[in-house]
Structure 1
């Protein structure tokens, strides 16, 4: 690795080839995989500008790329295919002008036609890059077509394509930099559907993925996946879809956990929307008590509910001090919350 860091790629290659005569793991072309792994690790460790310099260009090839190409065999293995896919996607992430979406799909198509097996992680990595919006926002029809063909290839290889991890990855990628529509005619708010939070309209790609998640007969999503989706929707002000994801568990006959309630209340509190906080408290605080088992008013849940209460009634803290025995809708809810010191911040939406 030291030779690679110092830029002596020829020596690094030579040493590995010589070592393959004595080290079993490096025999049978194993040295190529070892070299590719070291090159990937090195490139990923560099600052953006230095990484771009190492990648060079087609007009001015750099020693790094000569070494990378030299490590590839005539008949690529699964790891070699994964490494080439990784390099292309990583270069796209660096905004290298020569690593384009059509070339990524062409690379995948080359491997598929040659019968090279591509791992599931490599497929997902490529899919995320293809669906990721361009500099102008949105995802083009050609990119969607390429993504569809990749999903077909995964299916042909016996991989389950309609799974939680793939759907969440694709939705996150499609939502990373969407072309927002801010026309007042495209904003939707409803006391039941969005709890009066004004919801922007998703792009067609995002909406299609969202409907697929709602309508497919899939196992219940994990809290982690749902929080990832809700966090993304909150950032983009897709409140209609935010609440759809939160309601996924009840629709499937499953309880919402304390973690989900803490995240939901905390996220709504951060909007500072008074009416929405009032609606959410009136709707979901009682629902917490009906869960099986009931969700307790403690810890992160208590902190998140209190954050909502402070938006619903900005003077509630002072009211508790001045009239601790007073009755009232918000005061009663405040008293139910048992403040627990030292809890982690439950609010992931920033």
Structure 2
């Protein structure tokens, strides 16, 4: 009987249950565990495994019970689940369509909105309390935290910044939460927060009272207040600047790099916490998460590139087979690794890896020739006049130039030779970007140049713009911006060079705007750019704008407005500057501006010297306008005696007045030769001749 029962699996389970019951384990407990256990199978989209712990035996492992018998017969309700000590997974023979999974409860949306964000690494001790107070006591939802302490350059709110963004339920809830939060910081933590956009309790009541009174007055006259009018109450956004709190980090990351910091403000070791409280509509409109999220992700990618570059720098690199060669510089390895991996140069700018050494390898020995075709070769006598070697040392590898002195000497040599060439030949060499000169120059020019090397390249590009105005000024401007982005302390001479290049004809409005931006940058660097040359250059640029109808132009009174601003900032211009402006106005035909400059002297109670009168008469005579020459002679010749001090007649004045008289009356010389002739022009002509005779000048 027992043998026949042992042949059936269900009977064997029943016998085991009886055995467990005799051992002191209730069969009811085992049956309950068996009845509620779920198999270890689940639908593929969301695999969730639920199991109930079963009773383990020290020898045979886990044994599950069977369902009770039905109608006096042994019914099979499921397989025997034996989990051995080896860790084998239980296997179920129940079909998948009979398996009942545990019901999954939908997450509560309110709990999701009230979930606190994770703390950043090394958080300030006060940050966790702030988050709990903002969420629990104030009731702000959808809290988002951004750790901006590592951003370089730092945000406008300050360095070591931690920003929290929360949503208020209404406008009233927004102001009440911000007010209570500021009071909590003042009373509990002795801080001095500043809430930008917060209306105080008394101020809010006053604004609401005034708004209600205004609405009553409008209703009496049959009007209503505009719905979209800005009443100063519905701000929708309050920025609470908590200030500096103790940071969780022991030391600042860049503290050692800022020991010699010079600038505005002061360095603070703590962290700055800012709470952005917004309504739901305002938060969706501003989308601060997208703004700061992009900044954080961009910084993380930059840090990843820098760490990958540092790992690649550990591998040894060798360039060529040199018997007495030294190990390459660390900067060479970094730049080579960056070029192989396609990294941007901006990552090195943030890592403060600025070097002047770079490995320049040619494809073949014949490619590295600095003095090939088109007039670059110099004679021995010319080479002795220049500084630096004319050719590479025979003992030096022609493939590599890693010495700063050698590279600088070769750049100076090519620049000096270029300036000494005839302009026609130099123009031919500089016009094309792929000319032999530029190929040779670019091979020597380093990736991260020093100050002297950058000055040489900028001088060459400025000389190219002077010889070839049609090539454009973009190359010189781009080179200057690359130099400025490499954190080189740019001297005033380089600013003057690029400004002279921008002010050369033809001058476009974009050139003037670029020049104004460069002047602002130079002033920010501490250079004194408020000199006469800058004033003259900017005025010349405004005067030389093209008059084509399709070309963008300034407003008609731009020149006068600029002169007024410069006069208030720097005072009246010098006589030399005004002489240059008169010449420029006469050349470009800006006669209204010409006479405005001329009349600016008496308006400023300044006397006009003799040089100004001589230049004015010559420019008017060169115009060949008879009516203008007549008016000029009649008005300004008598004014010379009214100046304080008065302008005395001499040979220069007489020659300039005679030039105007020849335009006013072309037959004046023949008329004055007649003894019986008289008139204002004849008398003035004879006076000029007498003055020149007394001065010993040729009539």
Q: Does 1:124 find its partner at 2:496? A: yes
Kindly indicate whether the alpha-carbon contact (under 8 Å) linking 2:629 and 2:660 is maintained by their aligned counterparts in 1: yes
Evaluate the alpha carbon distance shift between residue 160 and residue 312 of structure 1 in structure 2; reply closer, same or farther with a 3 A threshold: same
Query: How big is the shift at 1:325?
Result: 7.9
* Aligned-partner Cα distance in 2 for 1:250–1:315: 34
Matched, 1:104 2:104: no
Corresponding residue for 1:199? none
Change (3 A) 1:111 1:204: same
Matched residue, 1:293 = 645
Residues 143-166 of structure 1: per-residue CA shift (max 9 Å, x gap): 344323211211112223343201
Residue of structure 1 equivalent to 2:527? 159
1:180-329 matches, cutoff 5 A? 203-204=553-554, 208-217=558-567, 218-323=570-675, 326=678, 328-329=679-680
**Match of 2:392?**
14
Asked if structure 1 preserves the Cα contact closer than 8 Å seen for 2:390 and 2:413, the reply is no
Flag structure 2 segments of 5+ consecutive residues without an equivalent: 1-370, 397-402
Residue matched to 1:168: 536
Q: Is the 8 A contact 1:220 1:248 kept in 2?
A: no
Partner SS for 1:204: coil
Match of 1:85 in 2: 458
Kept in 2, the 8 Å contact 1:133–1:178? The answer is no
C-alpha deviation, 1:291, in angstroms: 1.2
| Contact 1:128/1:173 (8 A) holds in 2 | no
SS in structure 2 at match of 1:12: coil
Asked if 1:148 corresponds to 2:505, the answer is no
Which structure would you say has the larger RCO, counting Cα contacts within 8 Å and 6 or more residues apart? 1
- Quick one: distance in 1 between partners of 2:496 and 2:555? 17
8 Å CA contact retained: 1:230, 1:245: yes
Indicate if the aligned counterparts of 1:131 and 1:139 stay in contact, CA closer than 8 A. Answer: no
Report if the CA contact (8 A) 2:389-2:409 is conserved.
no
Q: Which moved more, 1:247-256 or 1:317-326?
A: 317-326
1:113 correspondence with 2:466: no
Query: 1:261, 1:301 within 8 Å by CA — same for their partners in 2?
Result: yes
TM-fit CA distance, 1:278: 1.7
Rounded Cα–Cα distance in structure 1 between residues aligned with 2:523 and 2:479: 18
Equivalent-residue separation in structure 1 for 2:627 and 2:670 (angstroms): 20
Q: In structure 2, the residue corresponding to 1:255 is in which secondary structure?
A: coil
2:417 to 9, 21, 42: 42
| Higher Rg of the two aligned structures | 2
Please give the secondary structure, in 1, of the residue aligned with 2:666: coil
Q: Are 1:339 and 2:692 counterparts?
A: yes
Per-residue deviation, residues 1-47 of structure 1 (Å, max 9, x unmatched) = xx7952699962525999xxxxxxxxx94554443333222112334
Q: Which has the higher helix share?
A: 1
How large is the RMSD of aligned CA atoms in angstroms? 3.8
Whose strand fraction is larger, Structure 1's or Structure 2's? Answer: 2
Partner of 1:330: 681
Per-residue CA deviation, residues 274-316 of structure 1 (Å, 9 max, x unaligned), is: 2211211222112110112211122111111122223323333
**CA offset digits 1:101-153 (Å, max 9, x no partner):** 3443332222222221223232222123334455xxx5143x34432321121
1:339 and 1:151, CA in 2 relative to 1: closer, same or farther beyond 3 A?
Answer: same
Is 248-257 or 274-283 further displaced after alignment? 248-257
Give CA deviations for 1:220-279 in whole Å, capped at 9, x if unaligned: 434333222212211221101111222333333222121211111122122222221121
Contact kept in structure 2, 1:265 and 1:304, CA below 8 Å: yes
Q: Supply the distance in 2 between the matched residues of 1:35 and 1:206 (Cα, whole angstroms).
A: 49
Number of aligned residues: 306
Q: Distance in 1 between matches of 2:509 and 2:698?
A: 40
Q: Distance in 1 between matches of 2:665 and 2:591?
A: 22
- Rounded Cα–Cα distance in structure 1 between residues aligned with 2:620 and 2:462: 35
Q: Work out the CA distance in 1 between the residues paired with 2:595 and 2:376.
A: 49
What CA distance in whole angstroms lies between the structure 1 residues aligned with 2:421 and 2:454?
22
How does the TM-score come out when normalised to structure 1? 0.72
Task: Determine if contact 2:613/2:653 at 8 Å carries over to the other structure.
Answer: yes
Mapped partners of 1:123, 1:283: distance in 2: 43
Contact residue 614 and residue 652 of structure 2 kept, 8 A? yes
Structure 1 residue 70: deviation in Å?
Answer: 5.0
Q: Which runs of 5+ in 1 are unaligned?
A: 19-27, 182-201, 346-350
DSSP-derived class of the 1:14 partner: coil
User: Whole-Å Cα distance in 2 between the matches of residues 208 and 17 of structure 1?
Assistant: 62
Deviation at 1:344, TM superposition (A): 10
What's the TM-score, normalizing by structure 2?
Answer: 0.39
Which deviates more, 79-88 or 46-55? 46-55
1:68 aligns with 2:437: no
Distance 2:609 2:514 in 1: 38
Task: Decide whether the 8 Å contact of 1:17 with 1:31 is kept in 2.
Answer: no
Describe the shift of the 1:215–1:285 C-alpha distance in structure 2 as closer, same or farther (beyond 3 A): farther
